[in-house]
Structure 1
Amino acid sequence: MTIDKSKIRNAATVIVIRDRHTAPRILMGQRGATAAFMPNKFVFPGGAVDLGDAQVPLASMVDETCQNRLAEDADGSLAHALVVAAIRELWEETGLILGQKGAWEGTPPADWLTFAQRGYLPHAAPLQFVFRALTPPGRPRRFDARFFLVDAEDIATDLDNFDDACDELSHLQWVALSDARKFDMPFITEVVLAEVEARARQLDPPASVPFFKNNDEESLFLRLRGRPMPS
């Protein structure tokens, strides 16, 4: 049972949750009508890992539990690039900064320049790995997507200021968790939403991470519990 990995891109998605202990809300936006992937759908900020993401410095890394689970059924060296991609996509698509104050060494990559000029380094520790899904065969684009949950209190900038966002997502808004299903969203987003609802008021990492692994021959539902990191 093989997967043509040359046609699958690693990707990272971020679910930002606000007021999780009172009236939880999540940040969503709408993809454009001409988008090649999921046009018009309401989604969480996210996108594919870029080649340079592995070289971007981090102020902090996700905890060991998340690292172990990111490494299960995957190249363990991808973890750094995945969390960098998550923070970059959040920044690009919403203008929100998940960062710690700090200076970059040398000149930051072009897509991080404004982030760095604000005086921040990407800060991955608040990210919690909660879901993974492989796009089914037959789609024009296939992604191996990791979903990360982060509390809005860990965002360094104004939660209601999207002025620095690119135009990839429109109608950026904080959606009440109880109302989110009223929006037109992809099936996998609905599935992830159920996981977020179950974990809205829980701060510790989940007991295991769901993984929808859609191979060419069958669809598998697995649980990622993590494997020890190499010493």
Structure 2
Amino acid sequence: MTAARPVDAASILLLDRSDESVRVLVGRRSSKHVFMPNVYVFPGGRRDATDRLVSVANPLHPAACERLALRSGTRCSDSRLRALGVAALRELYEEAGISVGPPLDAAASDALPFRPDLSRLRFLARAITPAGMIRRFDTRFFALFADEAGIDPAGATASHELEDLRWMDIFDPGGIEMPDITVLILEELQKSLQEDKSLPFGRTAPLYHTRRGRFLRDLL
């Protein structure tokens, strides 16, 4: 049997810092999912082929693009990097009903009812599913402050893909069951915010992957 190759995916850590604590949006994956059912994760999913074609309101920050491109292979292009940002915001809309970007006219034929604004997305981390899993993803994790994007945290709405949406204190998950990689990414967020609450766009980002059976954390 041919080993599954990882496909591009994107996930977003939407952050609410309106109170003393910082909260992140998570939801429970449906029991119908083949990959990681019934656990709490950040909104996200695979990059669609059409994500490259979506017109954006503003591009990714140059420093975020530079980090994203590292160790992404010779086929990495500006359109592929932009598509990863689009995928993160598209999934946020599809799974939690949150739009990031100016609305489009109702008569527009675009795939999304808004033009994604990628300019405030911070590249936080990257993780590649180990070989042997039923599905493999090369996931880029982005962080976004809700207030910077003009998002009302109360507007998050559960979907058939992501149920029981919760705003979780990043330093107090409260016993919520999460996959190991989600826990690791949450820990990366904790460390990053403790180092600099603004989450600078050009900061180094960890890459979690396996090589010859060893689980590794490299820096990009």
TM-score (norm 1): 0.83
Moved more, 63-72 or 177-186: 177-186
What CA distance in whole angstroms lies between the structure 2 residues aligned with 1:137 and 1:183?
A: 27
Offset at 1:154? 3.1
- Matched AA of 2:165: L
Task: Choose which of 59, 62, 76 in structure 2 pairs with 1:61.
Answer: 59
- Matched AA of 1:76: C
Alignment of 1:107-126 (within 5 A): 107-109=109-111, 112=112, 116=113, 120-126=114-120
Paired position in structure 1 for 2:13: 15
Offset at 1:71? 0.9
Moved more, 11-20 or 79-88: 11-20
Identity, % of aligned positions: 32
Map Cα deviations across residues 51-109 of structure 1 (whole Å, 9 max, x no partner).
Answer: 10001011111111110111111143220110010010000000011113566996212
- Mark the CA change 1:146 to 1:20 in structure 2 (over 3 Å): closer, same or farther: farther
- Matched AA of 2:146: A
- Matched AA of 1:174: W
Query: Does structure 1 residue 194 correspond to structure 2 residue 187?
Result: yes
Q: Which runs of 5+ in 2 are unaligned?
A: none
Offset at 1:138? 0.9
Greater share of residues in helix: 1
Paired position in structure 2 for 1:131: 125
What CA distance in whole angstroms lies between the structure 2 residues aligned with 1:55 and 1:216?
A: 37
- Mark the CA change 1:219 to 1:176 in structure 2 (over 3 Å): closer, same or farther: closer
8 Å Cα contact 2:48-2:87 kept in structure 1: yes
* Root mean square deviation of aligned Cα: 2.3
Query: Does structure 1 residue 31 correspond to structure 2 residue 29?
Result: yes
Q: Which runs of 5+ in 1 are unaligned?
A: 225-231
Q: Secondary structure at the match of 1:199?
A: helix
Alignment of 1:1-231 (within 5 A): 7-19=5-17, 22-74=20-72, 75-77=75-77, 78-101=80-103, 107-109=109-111, 112=112, 116=113, 120-163=114-157, 165-180=158-173, 182-200=175-193, 201-205=197-201, 207-215=203-211, 218-224=214-220
What CA distance in whole angstroms lies between the structure 1 residues aligned with 2:187 and 2:19?
A: 17
Offset at 1:131? 0.2
- Matched AA of 1:16: L
What CA distance in whole angstroms lies between the structure 2 residues aligned with 1:45 and 1:150?
A: 12
What CA distance in whole angstroms lies between the structure 1 residues aligned with 2:136 and 2:210?
A: 10
TM-score (norm 2): 0.87
What CA distance in whole angstroms lies between the structure 2 residues aligned with 1:86 and 1:180?
A: 22
